[in-house]
């Protein structure tokens, strides 16, 4: 048996386990939209913790994280800062969102926003923004999966086949079991990626340099510019403090606004689970430390991978690790990719039906569920076609979409906390903020102090939201009261 056969076997076994977990997960959930999208609001702490962690950290963190540390050094540290701080407000906001979900039957972010600001246009706008941000995101996850499989099987399983295999399995379990499958497979995949990241992250520095300290001493002697913030920009020149700082700010504000993460608040069995997950999130996030160690281990490596994102598979293959370890590493990377990809596919289909199509065509619960299934396949197919095409511009598109996603933050916060906010204000703010973010994304050279376009968008969004709201008629107190009341003390939870 050749080496790559054995590696392929390990990967096959991993995919099979994932598939069986995904299929087994759905047996209990109800055949309703609420069951398919919000898991009957029945996720416990273990599942919720891993769903959150594994959905946030995608193939982008697992492959891109080492890639950043390798090529841009300390620039990557911004990821350390935004995760925990982005999750912290969720300790307060999450339970409030979950409470409104239970009270009014919301299962998506746009339903919550338009519950407070009734407007079909607003709902469709959010659905379109979501889809626009999700398709490049899913495409990147698929490419990540395909790239890793192709690399470790020495090209015997090409990218197109690898991506089709991994995502064929994702689609089967999401179709069968909806968000419950996302939950249970993410629990398995989350544990898997943590173990692999820690093992490789500690192993490589010791194997190559005799320890973590000795590794950094050598990097400090030869490439000191990599070890202090803000590190390097993508072009290899020094990055700016303005760029570094606003990248953190935008990510903190945007993190929970990603619809596939936001919607998970509706899946929690009780509010305490959301709070505990916010508390425990840094323990998941700690896996970024070994992820960066892997990237730094490559800095003084004699050979260079074709592109920075390949540093992890490249080193795994070049350091002559046993085939079993290579196979497990690959499964870890697939875990990271699939655990985000499944949440995105599921989110894209749910949002399109609940916040788009469903508003214009009356559909029964069963029809909505069926339509979501069709859309999961359609979105998957579209992303797959893009994934076969090598486009660096996708990464740029994804980074750009963060600038737009964080524009949802003022809208959500106004819906939950600001009595005087009006529908006109919310709409005007979201439109002007997104337009400003897109403008500065397309005209990067006009950004003052290298500030992130998302922050510039917010600087337009927030004043417009406030001024237009104050200029328009306040909402009736009866309408608002349901939204601004604090959640009641839970008796049952």
Partner 1 sequence: MKTSTVRRGVAIFLVLDGLLAMWPGLLPFNRIYPLIFGLPFVMAWLTFLMLLVGIALFVVALADRAAGRPSS
**Coil, helix or strand at residue 382:** helix
Which tokens sit at 370?
A: 């069926």
In terms of Cα–Cα distance, which of 454, 154, 153, 196 is closest to 337?
196
Q: What is the DSSP letter of 464?
A: H
Residues 6+ apart with CB under 8 A from 16: none
**To the nearest whole angstrom, how small is the minimum distance from the Cβ of residue 244 to partner 1?**
7
Least distance to partner 1, CB of residue 486, Å:
9
Is the peptide bond preceding residue 230 cis, with omega within 30 degrees of 0?
yes
Closest approach, Cβ 287 to partner 1, in A, equals 11
Among 61, 74, 165, 409, binds partner 1 (CB under 8 A): 74
CA 479 to chain CA centroid, Å, is: 33
Site for partner 1 in 185-244 (CB under 8 A): 205, 211-217, 220, 224, 227-229, 241-242, 244
Does 487 bind partner 1 (CB under 8 A)? Our answer is yes
238 versus 493: smaller Cβ distance to partner 1: 493
383/451 with CB nearer partner 1: 451
User: Using CB under 8 A as the criterion, what x/- string covers residues 237-276 for binding partner 1?
Assistant: ----xx-xx--xx--x-----------------xxx--xx
- Least distance (Å) between residue 242 CB and partner 1: 8
What string marks each residue from 444 to 463 as x (binds partner 1 by CB under 8 A) or -? --------------------
Q: Cα separation of 102 and 90, whole Å?
A: 17
Cβ-based nearer residue to partner 1, 227 or 357: 227
CB-nearer residue toward partner 1: 157 or 451: 451
Instruction: Determine the distance from the C-alpha atom of residue 377 to the mean position of all C-alpha atoms in its chain, rounded to a whole number.
Output: 20
80 touching partner 1, by CB under 8 A: yes
Question: Of these, 17, 172, 286, 377, which contacts partner 1 (CB under 8 A)?
Answer: 286
Q: Return phi, psi of residue 318, to 5°.
A: -80, -20
The Cβ of residue 205 has, within 10 Å, a number of other Cβ atoms equal to 21
Whichever of 144 and 190 has its CB closer to partner 1, that residue is 190
- Residue with smaller CB distance to partner 1, 59 or 293: 293
Smallest distance from the beta carbon of 269 to partner 1, in angstroms? 11
Least distance in angstroms from the C-beta of 83 to partner 1: 7
Identified binder of partner 1 from the candidate list 222, 365, 485, 490, rule CB under 8 A: 490
Q: Which two tokens stand for residue 195?
A: 């173990």
Phi, psi of 301 (to 5 degrees): -65, 140
Which residues share a beta bridge with 43? 268
Q: Does 52 bind partner 1 (CB under 8 A)?
A: no
Contact between 438 and partner 1 by CB under 8 A: the answer reads: no
Which pairs from 86-90 meet CB under 8 Å and 24+ separation?
86/251, 86/252, 86/253, 86/254, 86/255, 86/256, 87/52, 87/255, 87/256, 87/277, 87/278, 87/281, 88/278, 89/256, 90/256, 90/265, 90/274, 90/277, 90/278
Q: Whole-angstrom Cα distance, residue 201 to residue 212?
A: 10
Q: Out of 289, 300, 431, 480, which residue is the one contacting partner 1 (CB under 8 A)?
A: 289
- CB-nearer residue toward partner 1: 365 or 490: 490
Q: Closer to partner 1 at the Cβ: 285 or 335? A: 285
Residue 249 C-beta: closest distance to partner 1, Å: 8
Question: Binding to partner 1 by residue 68, rule CB under 8 A?
Answer: no
Q: Single out the residue of 43, 281, 314, 440 in contact with partner 1 (rule: CB under 8 A).
A: 281
Residue from the set 9, 17, 46, 88 that interacts with partner 1 by CB under 8 A: 88
Per-residue exposure over 71-80, b if at least 16 CB sit within 10 Å of its own CB, e if not = bbbbbbbbbb
Exactly one of 43, 48, 137, 292 binds partner 1 (CB under 8 A); that residue is 292
Task: List the one residue from 16, 238, 279, 470 that touches partner 1 (CB under 8 A).
Answer: 279
CA distance linking residue 120 with residue 132, whole number of Å: 18
Q: Which two tokens stand for residue 80?
A: 């350390």
> 120-152 and 323-351 helices cross at what angle (nearest 10)?
160
> Is 285 an interacting residue with respect to partner 1 (CB under 8 A)?
yes
Q: Are 28 and 169 in contact (CB under 8 A)?
A: no
Task: Tell me the C-alpha to C-alpha distance, in Å, between residue 238 and each of 217, 248, 403, 419, 446.
Answer: 21, 17, 23, 45, 19
Binding to partner 1 by residue 139, rule CB under 8 A? no
User: Considering only residues 92-131, where is the footprint of partner 1 by CB under 8 A?
Assistant: 95
Residues that bind partner 1 (CB under 8 A): 74, 77, 80-81, 83-85, 87-88, 91, 95, 205, 211-217, 220, 224, 227-229, 241-242, 244-245, 248-249, 252, 270-272, 275-276, 278-283, 285-286, 289, 292, 487, 489-490, 493
């Amino acid at each position: 048996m050749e080496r790559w056969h054995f590696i392929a076997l390990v990967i096959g076994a991993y995919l099979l386990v994932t598939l069986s977990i995904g299929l087994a997960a759905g047996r209990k959930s109800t055949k309703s939209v609420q069951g398919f999208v919000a898991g009957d609001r029945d996720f416990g702490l273990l599942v919720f913790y891993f769903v959150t962690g594994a959905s946030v950290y995608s193939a982008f963190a697992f492959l891109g994280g080492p890639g950043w540390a390798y090529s841009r050094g300390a620039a990557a540290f911004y990821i350390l800062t935004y995760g925990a701080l982005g999750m912290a407000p969720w300790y307060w906001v999450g339970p409030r969102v979950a409470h409104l979900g239970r009270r009014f039957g919301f299962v998506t972010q746009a339903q919550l926003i338009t519950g407070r600001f009734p407007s079909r246009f607003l709902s469709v706008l959010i659905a379109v923004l979501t889809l626009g941000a999700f398709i490049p995101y899913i495409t990147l996850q698929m490419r990540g999966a395909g790239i890793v499989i192709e690399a470790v099987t020495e090209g015997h399983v090409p990218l197109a086949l690898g991506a089709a295999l991994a995502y064929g399995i994702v689609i089967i379990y999401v179709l069968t079991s909806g968000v419950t499958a996302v939950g249970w497979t993410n629990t398995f995949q989350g544990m898997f990626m943590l173990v692999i990241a820690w093992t490789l992250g500690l192993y490589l520095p010791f194997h190559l340099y005799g320890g973590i300290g000795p590794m950094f001493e050598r990097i400090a002697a030869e490439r000191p510019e990599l070890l202090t913030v803000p590190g390097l920009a993508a072009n290899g020149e020094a990055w700016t403090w303005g760029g570094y700082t606003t990248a953190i700010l935008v990510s903190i504000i945007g993190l929970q606004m990603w619809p596939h993460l936001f919607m998970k608040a509706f899946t929690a069995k009780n509010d305490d689970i959301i709070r505990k997950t916010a508390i425990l999130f840094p323990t998941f996030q700690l896996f970024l430390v070994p992820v960066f160690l892997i990237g730094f281990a490559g800095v003084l490596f004699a050979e260079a991978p074709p592109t920075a994102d390949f540093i992890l598979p490249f080193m795994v293959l070049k350091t002559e690790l046993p085939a079993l370890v290579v196979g497990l590493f690959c499964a870890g990377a697939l875990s990271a990719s699939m655990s985000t990809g499944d949440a995105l596919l599921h989110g894209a289909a749910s949002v399109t039906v609940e916040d788009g199509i469903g508003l214009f065509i009356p559909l029964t619960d069963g029809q909505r569920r069926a339509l979501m299934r069709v859309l999961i396949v359609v979105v998957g197919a579209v992303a797959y076609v893009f994934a076969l095409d090598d486009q660096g511009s996708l990464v740029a598109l994804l980074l750009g979409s963060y600038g737009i996603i964080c524009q949802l933050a003022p809208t959500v916060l106004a819906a939950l906390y600001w009595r005087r906010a009006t529908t006109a204000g919310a709409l005007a703010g979201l439109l002007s903020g997104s337009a400003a973010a897109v403008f500065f994304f397309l005209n990067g050279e006009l950004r003052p102090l290298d500030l992130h376009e998302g922050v510039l968008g917010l600087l337009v969004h927030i004043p417009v939201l406030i001024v237009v709201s104050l200029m328009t008629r306040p909402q009736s107190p009866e309408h608002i009261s349901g939204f601004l009341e604090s959640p009641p003390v839970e008796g049952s939870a």
